[in-house]
């Protein structure tokens, strides 16, 4: 799946944190928005899966990623792009195979009960001797 640059919306603002004198003048905080619900780049099946899994992170079908941990806008842009890719990959990956329940074998049940019996016998020997 390839996302064209025209479908990404970038916004920049001043970030808090380290940066010295430049922190008050550079717009290094990055907000990357991607319209998951309206994107023609995502196949319909993957879109419905992504909308279901990203439901709590979406506002009107738009996923917004914020990056402000680096001092430079370029590094924050790269971080936001990587997070968007990771979020979409996680949301669109296939479901794991369903688990088929199994029963313990007869030998495993017997060994478990034998171990319980041995443990009980050990604990019984800790008591006072009968006269």
Q: Say what the pTM is.
A: 0.70
Contact 97, 82 (CB under 8 A): no
Alpha carbon distance 66, 99 (integer Å): 37
pLDDT at 18: 65
Contact 77, 67 (CB under 8 A): yes
Q: Quote the tokens at residue 29.
A: 């905080």
Coil, strand or helix: which one is 12? strand
pLDDT at 93: 92
Q: Which of 9, 28, 7, 6 is nearest to 17 (CA)?
A: 28
- Residue 19, pLDDT > 70, answer no
């Amino acid at each position: 799946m390839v996302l064209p640059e025209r479908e990404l919306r970038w916004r920049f603002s001043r970030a808090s944190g380290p940066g010295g004198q430049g922190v008050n003048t550079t717009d290094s905080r990055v907000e990357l928005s991607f319209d998951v619900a309206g994107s023609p780049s995502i196949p319909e099946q993957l879109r419905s899966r992504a909308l279901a899994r990203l439901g709590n992170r979406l506002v009107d079908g738009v996923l917004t990623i914020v990056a402000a941990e680096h001092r430079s806008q370029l590094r924050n842009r790269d971080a936001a792009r990587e997070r968007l890719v990771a979020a979409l990959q996680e949301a669109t990956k296939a479901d794991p195979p369903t688990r088929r329940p199994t029963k313990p074998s007869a030998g495993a049940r017997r060994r478990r009960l034998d171990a319980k019996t041995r443990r009980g016998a050990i604990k019984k020997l800790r008591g006072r001797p009968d006269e």
